[in-house]
Structure 1
Amino acid sequence: MRKIALSLLTLGSLLSWSTASADMTSVTLQSVSKTGKIRLGYREAEPPFSYQLPSGEVVGFSIDLCKRVVDHIRQHLKLEKLDIEYVMATPATRFILMKTGNIDIECAATTNTAERRKTVDFSYPNFMTATQFVSRSDDHISSMKDLTGRSVTSASGTVNIDQLNQINRQRKLNIAVIPTKNNEESFDLVVSGRASAFVMDGILLAAMVAQTPDPSKYALSEETLSDPEPYGLMLRHGDTTFKTLVNESLREVFAGDDIKTLYGKWFTSPIPPSNMNLNLPMSAALKKAYASPVEFND
């Protein structure tokens, strides 16, 4: 009996040593364990995924997912407390902030692509959306062909502006592409009439339109510039131990009722600060992604 007890004790020690050894290979976990702090990248205005309320509080669907991941990391590292530091990241700065170690997880709406996976990593997909464009209803623009010879805007550093440029070249539409620093600038160009359309992820465009005083003034295209593409939490490239831990946490969220609660909170209910409601039921593709999480590999 004593031999069995000693064997179990030895096994437990080996498992603990193995976990600690794996943690030591993770740059992110080393930093988090040493400082007792984890840095989350967020967007200033990207509802319902990641945005800042007038009070200064950072909220959103991606933020809630990240909070659950943070608690999972805290338990894994056996810390009584793990502080969160929020770092504002724009489409143009998010990759730089990740590569330089200024953020540990980006909690926003960033598309997971093969090109991006060369320099950063991503968690399991947490949402899917296609690229569309928004225009003023009075302009009666319904297709990319209608944008021939017009000015069209999109934010720099996004997949969307690359897709716009590619279609512009392939179809010879002679579109004057206007790059901006962020989505707000692009939408303002359409509102003011300085651009005929704004190309971006459909879900983000729908959210921006819903926040305007009169959403009927704007039309979201039925035509898409891409197939539905996955969003993921962006992580440091090559930190496999940390990515595995993040995915373990997300798998737990996706497997239970928690994901249904979170999705309902941000996509089918009024959200702060203006009680906007996207009324967007969970798609079949997204349900499948949650039921069987798949990691994208090259």
Structure 2
Amino acid sequence: MKISSLVSRVAACAVVGLAAQGAWAQAGGTLDKVKQSGAFTMAYRESSIPFSYLDDKAQPVGFGFEICNRIADEVKKVTGRADMKVNLQAVTSANRIPLLQNGTIDIECGSTTNNVERGKQVAFATNYFYTGTRFLVKSSSPVKKLEDLAGKNVVSTTGTTNYKIMRGLNDEKKVGFELLGAKDHAESALMVQSGRAEAFAMDDILLYGLRASSQNPAELAVVGEPIQVEPYAIMVRRDDPAFKGLVDGVLAGLMKSGEFEKLYKKWFQSPIPPKGINLGVPMSKELQENMKALSDKPAAP
């Protein structure tokens, strides 16, 4: 065999191997991937309190993260991989979807809004929380509502629906604020605390969490009427009905057994790490209804 022919064949085999490695999502899906690799990768957020965040030991914890662990247990059982390794990967608002699409992560149980636009790129499990955009400000701030932001700097985390909502409102209602972007929620909150922004626009539940975990919660306030109530849902890859079915099944089991409500009370109505502060957030009417409906309906466009 000629050297050139051998090289061509080796190169062809390499290409085929890479193609096969990248095609699992379309062919077998997440469960087949886990069966073959023995590994399952869960994504966590570093400051999405109380869904997914780092505690005082820099370990991921939270409502969504705990549910993710229940899902990992079911994946281990269904795939028959008792030796399955659970890998953890930190993600941001900007990179969570690309990392899911390219196979770096297998699931994200954080504070991701389920909407139509994202549904073109990923799939969402049963909605497991509902929230609306409000504002984190200093307690001494005169800002109480959207119109009070005129002429002021407003920050929101890039890659979030809240950033887009605020940009759209500014254009539509001609409010006249300067919209700034930050890489994550912690940086956005810091910009308010340091005076670089008058308000941080984000999902109200995340703002309550950030306020509770700050050095002096009394210095911050969450204000404004909720803008556009939206659902949060666990994010998985598209075109993988077997895995989405598993995730939906775990959620349905938790919701029907009463375990979901216990987890909710643990993370939203009880002292949580790192400071033992109780967020005191009652379960919304929308979430109570969805525990019966088990819907994965996206937010209104």
Residue aligning to 2:182: 180
What SS does the corresponding residue of 2:180 show, helix, strand or coil? strand
Asked if residue 82 in structure 1 is aligned to residue 84 in structure 2, the reply is: yes
Give the CA deviation at 1:25. 4.4
Give the CA deviation at 1:259. 0.8
Give the CA deviation at 1:135. 1.2
Residue aligning to 2:146: 144
Give the CA deviation at 1:24. 9.7
What SS does the corresponding residue of 2:126 show, helix, strand or coil? coil
Structure whose residues are more often strand by fraction: 2
Contact 1:26-1:241 at 8 Å conserved across structures: no
RMSD: 1.7
Residue aligning to 2:296: 295
Residue aligning to 1:273: 274
Contact 2:146-2:224 at 8 Å conserved across structures: no
1:219 is aligned, of 218, 221, 230, to 221
Stretches (4+) displaced over 4 A: none
What SS does the corresponding residue of 1:115 show, helix, strand or coil? helix
Measured in 2, the distance between the counterparts of 1:83 and 1:290 equals 31
Measured in 2, the distance between the counterparts of 1:219 and 1:54 equals 23
Measured in 2, the distance between the counterparts of 1:283 and 1:245 equals 25
Measured in 2, the distance between the counterparts of 1:176 and 1:94 equals 26
Residue aligning to 2:167: 165
TM-score (structure 2 length as normaliser): 0.87
Matched-pair identity in % = 35
Q: Which runs of 5+ in 1 are unaligned?
A: 1-22
Measured in 2, the distance between the counterparts of 1:248 and 1:92 equals 28
Contact 2:35-2:80 at 8 Å conserved across structures: no
What SS does the corresponding residue of 1:252 show, helix, strand or coil? helix
1:124 is aligned, of 123, 126, 143, to 126
What SS does the corresponding residue of 1:222 show, helix, strand or coil? strand
Measured in 2, the distance between the counterparts of 1:285 and 1:104 equals 28
What SS does the corresponding residue of 1:178 show, helix, strand or coil? strand
1:201 is aligned, of 183, 199, 203, to 203
Measured in 2, the distance between the counterparts of 1:250 and 1:186 equals 31
Following superposition of structure 1 onto structure 2, how do residues 212-291 of structure 1 map, counting pairs within 5 Å?
Answer: 212-226=214-228, 228-291=229-292
What SS does the corresponding residue of 1:142 show, helix, strand or coil? coil
Q: Which runs of 5+ in 2 are unaligned?
A: 1-24
State the aligned residue count. 275
Relative to structure 1, is the Cα distance of residues 92 and 24 closer, same or farther in structure 2, using a 3 angstrom cutoff? closer
Moved more, 278-287 or 168-177: 278-287
Measured in 2, the distance between the counterparts of 1:283 and 1:82 equals 36
Measured in 1, the distance between the counterparts of 2:235 and 2:283 equals 22
CA offset digits 1:14-40 (Å, max 9, x no partner)? xxxxxxxxx994321121111111100
Measured in 2, the distance between the counterparts of 1:236 and 1:180 equals 26
